[in-house]
Amino acid sequence: MPSATVNKPRPSELLSRLTSAEPEVKVRALREVKNQIIGNRTKKLSFLKLGAVPAVAGILADSIDDVTENNNCNNTNNFLVQSAAALGSFACGFDAGVQAVLDAGAFPNLLRLLANPNEKVVDAVARALRMIYQSKLAPKYDFLQQKNMEFLISLLNSEKETVSGLGASIITRSCETNLEQKALFDAGILRKLNSLLEGGSLSQRDASLESLATVFRNNPEVISKFAGPEIGRPLSSIIDLAKDRYPRTRLLACMCLIVIRNASPHFLQDIGIKTKLIHILLELLDDPGQVGDEAPFAFSSLIAQKEDLQKLALEANAIDKFHHHIKKGSLHPRRYEGILLALADMCSKLESCRSKFLSLQVLNLVADALTDYNAGVRAAACICLKSVTRSIKNLSAGYFMNETIVIPLVQLFLDPSTSVQVAALGATSNIVVDFTTRKSIFVQCGGMKQLVQLAKSMESSVRSNALWALKNFVFQADNRLKEGVFSELTASLLSSLIRDPEPSVQEQALALVRNLVDGCINLIEFVFAEDGLILGAIGRQLQCASKAEIGIQGMYALCNVASGNEFHRESVMQLLFTQMGDKNQSFVVKFLQSNDSQLRTATVWTIVNLTCPSSPGAPCRLEKLRNAGIVSQIKNMVNDPCVDVKLRVRTVLGQSMAFGDN
């Protein structure tokens, strides 16, 4: 006997049924809309385009009015339940759906219905609101306002699981400041969340763990109070939940413990707990669903910038595990991105981790990820490359300056995603510090010309990172390569970048000039091109430098110019005294008095080059420096706390004495 095929109504048909005068038809249509869109983003989008959300929100609003007039009849309750459920389905895991629900004005009506006497209505409404509060688009509550805190307490005190869970979800999305975190603690909210941890249902426990992590984030004061005797044994409860039978609960408990440790390192010092967290998160990678997708991100937050934990993770074969998952392929983009970022954190500090990474030939898989269709994966692959290429040993071996890596990286310079561009430039900045003679590969791939083009980008982060890569590219490069870069850049472009409105761009432009003019005396002529455009820009920028880093790079650029011939030194000297600030004082004195030891070092070193005894004009320059109060300031620095400064101060004073200065 042939099987019967049931044809589902088309979205346009269902939309017309939502306006039916027959209550039964309308309820069935609501139920059918909900069933068709559950877990189906394509269907949700189809209904969204047809205007289904305003139609469903309208039914909800009309039904609320009917409740007031008809004293809560069964049909009305059915409309409320089904319309709330449909709105929740639109919002579930779909930001466009959340935005549509908010734009349709359904949110305040859903909140009002939490006070409805019918339990089924309240349950459906609370579920819908929780779907909304899974999204970052959800409306925020200001917990410093008493009425909002009272509302939250009423939700958490509810005996209904969905309602108390909603309260926890609102905390997760709304609590953003230290003041709000403290207010929640003072109001007894954390005690209530802890009681849900110990005696609540699975969904209540999970929601509480997420809320606690939000309240703890970067707030050691609240963590200390929570972990104290006042509440009981809350940390033990969270540690126990990290071993729970449910994967999502284990993940959320781990994330909560990580937040605690990152904010208050003196908690959870036991090596056994650290090792257990690493093993749990690596095991969770095997989960086929969302838990497995999020586990590598939690792993990253656990080990980032922590060498001790990176060593433990290496011993736990974390790199092998990540390699295995990438190698088997068919990963969800979120999981793929997370694993690449976890590998980046693993290789950020320890040479042993980088060696393991290279020995497993993970580099080839990361190179493949550079061309992935997902922007997050491409950016993560670049960030991973940036970590691995921090190794001078491996750069010297020439592992990265090859076409397999360089060609896809250069192609990402034109990526439509700014975050991918910036990440690709970050990786390039390391790779081009190649200590071999293979920099020509980068030029042949069009990389150098692309960097110059990106230095003109409208995005300041792209300009800054492009200049950073160029700065590293010309570091200790031969004269021909530097001349090629400068001819592509031009003096006018470089001088405009030195005067860029963004301090980060100014700093990198000055650092690029510093590296360009370092070395052969002929290279110093770059700053005098086009009537000294670059030298003039350096002087003006140093006079109004907004941060020490700009002063450091500018002074080192001048220091390199002053290492040239007599004309070069006199040009620097003239610049120092042309650019005078308040009280007719050169910026040099201000830099010598800076709290930044690197700025003091760069400034004194420039004076060393200006007063070199073998230079014919040194006595005159020294006299001018003395009259400007610069030499007396240097004499006050003989006991500078920085060794580099102290050594160069003694050199200046020695040179000064050679010209008869006591």
As a whole number, mean pLDDT of residues 285-309 equals 96
User: Which of 97-135 are b and which e, b meaning 16 or more Cβ less than 10 Å from the residue's Cβ?
Assistant: bbbbbbebebbebbeebbebebeebbbbbbbbbbbbbbb
Q: Which pLDDT score, from 0 to 100, does residue 16 have?
A: 87
Asked if 420 and 382 count as a contact pair (C-beta separation under 8 A), the reply is: yes
pLDDT band at 299 (very low <50, low <70, confident <90, very high): very high
Is the per-residue pLDDT at 586 higher than 90?
no
Task: Say how far apart CA 4 and CA 334 lie, in whole Å.
Answer: 39
Which are the contacts of 487, defined by CB distance < 8 A and separation ≥ 6? none
DSSP secondary structure letters along 239-294: HHHTT-SSHHHHHHHHHHHHHHHHH-TTSS--HHHHHHHHHHHHHHTT-SSHHHHH
Beta partners for 580? Answer: 586
Is the per-residue pLDDT at 574 higher than 80?
yes
Task: Say how far apart CA 586 and CA 386 lie, in whole Å.
Answer: 40
Give backbone dihedrals phi and psi of 586, rounded to 5 degrees, phi first. -70, 150
Task: Say how far apart CA 350 and CA 313 lie, in whole Å.
Answer: 12
| Angle separating helix axes 333-346 and 362-369, nearest 10 degrees | 130
E-only strand ranges, 587-644? none
Q: Which pLDDT score, from 0 to 100, does residue 136 have?
A: 93
Residue type, 433: V
Asked if 575 and 606 count as a contact pair (C-beta separation under 8 A), the reply is: no
> What SS3 state is found at 299?
helix
As a whole number, mean pLDDT of residues 91-95 equals 93
* pLDDT greater at residue 438 or residue 3: 438
pLDDT band at 69 (very low <50, low <70, confident <90, very high): low
> What SS3 state is found at 586?
strand
Is the per-residue pLDDT at 3 higher than 60?
no
As a whole number, mean pLDDT of residues 400-415 equals 93
Proportion of the chain above pLDDT 90, given as a percent: 78
Asked if 275 and 314 count as a contact pair (C-beta separation under 8 A), the reply is: no
Instruction: Give per-residue pLDDT as tens, 312-367.
Output: 999 999 999 999 999 998 899 999 999 999 999 999 999 999 999 999 999 999 99
Range list of H helices, 526-565: 529-543, 548-561
Is the per-residue pLDDT at 101 higher than 70?
yes
Task: Say how far apart CA 195 and CA 189 lie, in whole Å.
Answer: 10
Task: Say how far apart CA 645 and CA 661 lie, in whole Å.
Answer: 20
Q: Which pLDDT score, from 0 to 100, does residue 631 have?
A: 92
Proportion of the chain above pLDDT 70, given as a percent: 95
| Token reading at 81 | 């339940």
As a whole number, mean pLDDT of residues 152-176 equals 94
* pLDDT greater at residue 134 or residue 585: 134
Instruction: Give per-residue pLDDT as tens, 444-484.
Output: 999 999 999 999 999 999 999 999 999 999 998 989 999 99
Residue 118 backbone class (left: φ over 0; alpha: ψ -120 to 50; beta: rest): beta
Task: Say how far apart CA 363 and CA 347 lie, in whole Å.
Answer: 12
Task: Say how far apart CA 296 and CA 443 lie, in whole Å.
Answer: 36
DSSP secondary structure letters along 184-214: HHHTTHHHHHHHHHHHS-HHHHHHHHHHHHH
As a whole number, mean pLDDT of residues 84-94 equals 94
Give CATH for domain 9-139.
Answer: 1.25.10.10
Task: Say how far apart CA 368 and CA 385 lie, in whole Å.
Answer: 12
* pLDDT greater at residue 422 or residue 438: 422
Task: Say how far apart CA 481 and CA 493 lie, in whole Å.
Answer: 18
Q: Which pLDDT score, from 0 to 100, does residue 5 have?
A: 46
Residue type, 294: E
For the chain, give the mean pLDDT. 92
| Token reading at 513 | 């000039």
Task: Say how far apart CA 80 and CA 96 lie, in whole Å.
Answer: 22
Please indicate, yes or no, whether the overall pTM of this predicted structure exceeds 0.85. Answer: yes
Which are the contacts of 467, defined by CB distance < 8 A and separation ≥ 6? 455, 497, 505, 508, 509, 511, 512
Asked if 465 and 429 count as a contact pair (C-beta separation under 8 A), the reply is: yes
Is the per-residue pLDDT at 244 higher than 70?
yes
3-state secondary structure 389-444: CCCHHHHHCCCCCCHHHHHHHHHHHHCCCHHHHHHHHHHHHHHCCCCCCCCHHHHH
Asked if 516 and 556 count as a contact pair (C-beta separation under 8 A), the reply is: no
| Angle separating helix axes 189-199 and 178-186, nearest 10 degrees | 70
Q: Which pLDDT score, from 0 to 100, does residue 4 have?
A: 46
Cα angle 369, 373, 374; round to 5: 85
Q: Work out the end-to-end distance of the chain between its first and last CA atoms, rounded to an integer number of angstroms.
A: 114
Which are the contacts of 303, defined by CB distance < 8 A and separation ≥ 6? 278, 309, 310, 313, 342, 345, 346
Q: Which pLDDT score, from 0 to 100, does residue 1 have?
A: 46
Q: Which pLDDT score, from 0 to 100, does residue 229 have?
A: 64
Instruction: Give per-residue pLDDT as tens, 478-533.
Output: 899 999 999 999 999 999 999 999 999 999 999 999 999 998 899 999 999 999 99
Task: Say how far apart CA 538 and CA 542 lie, in whole Å.
Answer: 6
Task: Say how far apart CA 29 and CA 10 lie, in whole Å.
Answer: 11
| Token reading at 358 | 């290279």
